[in-house]
A and B are shown apart, each in its own frame.
Chain A
Amino acid sequence: MAQGDYIQLHEKRYGKRLDHDERQRKRKAREVKKRSRVAQQAIGLKGKRIAKQNYKDKVQMKRTIAMHEESSTRRKVDDNVQDGAMPAYLLDRDPTTRAKVLSNTIKQKRKEKAGKWDVPLPKVRPVAEEEMFKVIRTGKRKTKQWKRMVTKVSFVGPSFTRKPPKYERFIRPTGLRFTKAHVTHPELKCTFNLDIIGVKKNPNGQMYTSLGVITKGTIIEVNVSELGLVTPAGKVVWGKYAQVTNNPENDGCINGVLLV
């Protein structure tokens, strides 16, 4: 007989202890405290592992709670007059996919001409050149110091080919190149993962704009064709500007808000 089955066999023959359920309940109740003590005391790799697991559990729990709450709050109220009236032929269709607003490309064009931006982040921390670039020493004796490596996230167009190393003054590391950004539409309150078309303006300087460096506060142009925005003349809007709101080099992703 397998070693572990003796307990089961015993339980089968003589039944469980009379206070078995009670003991189980108490053990379960103490379990939390025990786990927290272990988590607090554990150090090193073990501690890390436990912390990671706990974090994961917590996120999962929060997500489940949020889901439950949503399903109970998102109840259709028929008796009140709601905003966003729709004709009868659209009432049964899924309204969440109909994310769309007025587009005002004219406003955007005007802004572009003036060169001034009424943006969500009006001021940004100036980034020094030493922070932006890392000096790379080249030459046989590593004495030359004319080469720079960009230490921030950058956008590099699809048609870019590197120059020969002799002429390449700025290196944009492939690990820090991004092609997509998470852009939030401020009125719809929903976020889309959109392709970046280009860097419109980096507030730290023209050179960074032309290099395609993306730091916090940079205006980027994103491809919004899949959102289905239309101009007053009935054409699909293709590109729209967005401002970066996070520090992409720290976070590993680009978050931004659409400028409408």
Chain B
Amino acid sequence: MAVEEGRDASVMCLLTNPEGEPLGAPLYLPQNIGPPQLQEIVNKLLDNEEKLPYAFYISDQELAVQLGSYLETKKVSVEKVLRIVYQPQAIFRIRPVNRCSATIAGHTEAVLSVSFSPDGKNLASGSGDTTVRLWDLNTQTPLFTCTGHKNWVLCIGWSPDGKHLVSGSKSGELISWDPQTGKQLGSPLTGHKKWITAISWEPVHLQAPSRRFVSASKDGDARIWDISLKKCVISLTGHTLAVTCVKWGGDGHIYTGSQDCTIKVWETTQGKLIRELKGHGHWVNSLALSTEYVLRTGAYDHTGKTYSSPEEMKEAALARYNKMRGNAPERLVSGSDDFTMFLWEPALNKNHKARLTGHQQLVNHVYFSPDGQWLASASFDKSVKLWNGITGAFVATFRGHVGPVYQISWSADSRLLLSGSKDSTLKVWDIRTHKLKQDLPGHADEVFSVDWSPDGEKVVSGGKDRVLKLWMN
């Protein structure tokens, strides 16, 4: 009798990582163990020196209870091998923001873009009043006002080493600024014939200190610029309509998404076209890379370490990038006006890996979580959807906004998601429970841009009501 009970109370399990590779042989586990015990087993099997937190998933659903009760509620056969996917979690935890700590006026027109520097110590915003402003985060006051543009400042981009800030305007010129002094560095970079839609810097692990960046424009070109030569190095022409989005990938390729429904992959030494990814039936609005967050923050991580030399920074960034990427290729996701998204692996082949359908309006913004496990999409159908970042499987829909969702941003630990909408609110969503964590009203009009600082302390949002709001916990 006792023997039989003992046999009943165990189940054959196979632990696999998110890519599906098994961790050792299948093993019998007693049914009364839960996630904490599984965590210990995984840590032991992986020979981790320090204990890392893990989350466990069985057929895409998180395991929150003991194995036995899970099997009972889900009526899973105990005769089959149970595949348990373990996903490493961030070892730090970011507290959700819940209050507005400062409302900083200053801009005299709508705030179009806001961005924290990669180390999270500086903040810049671009506005319709043709200025770029730098803000002091400690005193929450204006630091510098950078004038020089002739028209709306549509996008800004921090270099991953934090030494430069580049802004692009509606009249097509780019200006680089020194974040320390707020002074313009050299004359405006001209070349684009129409407005700038996006800016992306070369990852710091490919070159340190950062020199090159790529800009996309409405005129259908993307251009690579060199900040020390102060000129356009390569012009990437080929798109027949406006380029809406550009990303500089970690293996040194540039991805451009365009209104001509294609995504093109460029090589960066000579500007040759490597691949063309076709599939969308309408404009491509937004691109995201699985490694994007690491590329953006470069060498800076949650510990707040600083680096003295560029070489050191490069090494640290490369280590971070390799750790993040693992041995899987970089994944690219594209959101489009045809209401769908495609998941690509551009390094392997030109066909898509998955087609992500479900939105009922155009997809305006897509973003991978910092650990690459999740993928979030903001759509004009007032919802934010969460997808599995590796397979592209649908996970959850976050409903709550009453207007189109414009922009989203992840917290550095991938546990929280922030969305800004036309309905003048920001909302923080919990990835674990798939629920609304925090509603942040306060703006008087549409929220155009949101950003969660890489150190997780602050959230900034800017919109049509011309003020910048800082949110904290």
List the interface of chain A (C-beta within 8 A of B): 78-79, 81, 83-92, 100, 102, 228, 230, 232-236
Query: Smallest distance from the beta carbon of B234 to chain A beta carbons, Å?
Result: 22
On whether the beta carbons of A88 and B421 are closer than 8 Å, the reply is: no
- Output the nearest chain A residue to B109 by Cβ-Cβ distance: A85
Question: Which of B127, B364, B439 contacts A234 (CB under 8 A)?
Answer: B439
A233 touches B441 (CB 8 A): yes
The 4 closest A-B pairs by CB, nearest first: A85-B128, A234-B425, A85-B110, A88-B154
Q: Kindly identify, within residues 268 to 315 of chain B, every residue whose CB is under 8 Å from any CB belonging to chain A.
A: 283, 285-286
In the complex, the answer to whether A235 meets B128 with C-beta atoms within 8 Å is no
Minimum CB–CB distance from B431 to chain A (whole Å) comes to 22
B112/A83 in contact, CB under 8 A = no
Q: Which residues of A contact B154 (CB under 8 A)?
A: 87-88, 91
For B402, give its contact among A81, A85, A89, A235 (CB under 8 Å). Answer: A235
Task: Note all chain B residues with C-beta closer than 8 A to A100.
Answer: 422, 446
B151 CB–A CB distance under 8 Å: yes
Q: B437 CB to closest chain A CB, in angstroms?
A: 15
Listed in ascending order, the chain B residues whose CB lies under 8 Å from chain A are 109-110, 112-113, 127-130, 150-152, 154-155, 170-171, 195-198, 218, 242, 244, 259, 283, 285-286, 364-365, 401-403, 406, 421-425, 439, 441-446, 448-449, 465
A230 touches B402 (CB 8 A): yes
Instruction: Tell me the bound Cα distance from A233 to B441 in angstroms.
Output: 5
Q: State whether A234 and B423 are in contact (beta carbons under 8 Å apart), knowing that A86-B112, A88-B195 are contacts in the complex.
A: yes
For residue A228, which residues in chain B have a CB less than 8 angstroms away from its CB? 403, 422
Contacts between the two chains (Cβ within 8 Å), count: 89
A78-B285 in contact given A85-B112, A87-B406 (Cβ < 8 Å) = no
Asked whether B424 lies within 8 Å of A232 as measured between CB atoms, the reply is yes
Please determine whether B195 and A234 come into contact, CB atoms closer than 8 angstroms: no
Q: Is the CB of A232 within 8 A of B441?
A: yes
Q: List 6 A-B contacts (CB under 8 A).
A: A81-B150, A85-B128, A85-B152, A88-B197, A89-B197, A234-B441
- Determine which of A79, A90, A234 lies in contact with B171 in the assembled complex, contact meaning CB atoms within 8 Å: A79
CA distance A89 to B363 in the complex (A): 11
Chain A: minimal CB distance from B4 (Å): 59
What secondary structure prevails in chain B residues at the interface with A?
loop
When the two chains form their complex, are residues A234 and B197 in contact, meaning their CB atoms are under 8 A apart? no
Given the known interface contacts A81-B152, A84-B110, the answer about A89 and B403 at a Cβ–Cβ threshold of 8 Å is no
Taking a contact as CB atoms under 8 Å apart, the answer to whether B112 and A87 are in contact is yes
Taking the closest CB of chain B, its distance from the CB of A156, in whole angstroms, is 31
Asked if B198 and A88 make an inter-chain contact with CB atoms under 8 angstroms apart, the answer reads yes
In the bound complex, what is the Cα–Cα distance between A103 and B424 (angstroms)? 11
Q: Are B442 and A81 in contact (CB under 8 A)?
A: no
- Report chain A residues within 8 Å CB of B197: 88-89
Once bound together, how far apart are the Cα atoms of A85 and B465, in whole Å? Answer: 11
**B441 and A89: CB pair below 8 A?**
no
CA distance A53 to B129 in the complex (A): 52
Contacts of B365 in A (CB 8 A): 89
Contacts of A91 in B (CB 8 A): 154, 170, 195, 218
Tell me if A230 and B151 are in contact (CB < 8 A).
Answer: no
Contact A92 B441 (CB under 8 A): no
User: Is B130 a contact of A230 with CB atoms below 8 Å?
Assistant: no
Bound-complex Cα distance A51 to B154 (A): 56
Residue of A nearest to B242 (CB): A92
- B285 adjacent to A85 (CB under 8 Å): no
Contact residue among B195, B196, B244, B425 (Cβ-Cβ distance under 8 Å from A233):
B425
- In the bound complex, what is the Cα–Cα distance between A85 and B218 (angstroms)? 16
What residues of B have a CB within 8 angstroms of the CB of A84 in the complex? 110, 128
A89 and B364 contact, Cβ closer than 8 Å, known pairs A81-B152, A230-B424, A234-B441 = yes
CB pair A81 B151 closer than 8 Å = yes
Nearest Cβ distance between residue A108 and chain B, in whole angstroms? 15
Minimum CB distance partner of A233 in chain B: B441
A102 in contact with B444 given A78-B171, A85-B110, A87-B113 (CB within 8 Å): yes
Inter-subunit contact A88/B196 (CB<8 Å):
yes
Report the bound CA distance from A86 to B421 in whole Å.
Answer: 14
Closest approach, in angstroms, between the C-beta of A99 and any C-beta of chain B?
12
Report A90 CB to chain B, min CB distance, Å: 8
Contact check: which of B109, B242, B364 meets A83 at CB < 8 Å? B109
In the assembled complex, the CB of A94 is this many whole angstroms from the nearest CB of chain B, namely 13
Which residues of chain B have C-beta atoms less than 8 A from A102's C-beta? Answer: 444-445, 465
CB distance from B226 to the nearest CB of A (A): 23
Residues of A within 8 A of B425 (CB): 233-234
Please name the residue on chain A nearest to B421 by beta carbon: A234
Tell me, in angstroms, the Cα distance from A89 to B283 when the chains sit together: 11
User: Could you tell me the distance in whole angstroms from the C-beta of A71 to the nearest C-beta in chain B?
Assistant: 22
Say whether A88 contacts B155, CB under 8 Å: yes
In Å, the complex CA distance between A48 and B129 comes to: 58
CB-nearest residue of chain B relative to A89? Answer: B364
**Shortest beta-carbon distance, B195 to chain A, in Å?**
7
A81 to B364 alpha-carbon distance, docked (Å): 25
Residues of A within 8 A of B439 (CB): 234
A143 to B: closest C-beta gap in Å: 60
For the complex, what is the distance from the CA of A234 to the CA of B424, rounded to whole Å?
6
> Once the chains are docked, how many angstroms separate the CA of A86 from the CA of B422?
12
Give A228 to B446 CA distance when docked, in angstroms: 11
Contact at A89–B171, with CB atoms within 8 Å? no
In the bound complex, what is the Cα–Cα distance between A83 and B170 (angstroms)? 13
Verify A89–B110 contact, CB threshold 8 A: no
| A87 and B403 contact, CB distance less than 8 A | no
In whole Å, how far is A187's beta carbon from the nearest beta carbon of chain B? 13
Asked if A230 and B423 make an inter-chain contact with CB atoms under 8 angstroms apart, the answer reads yes
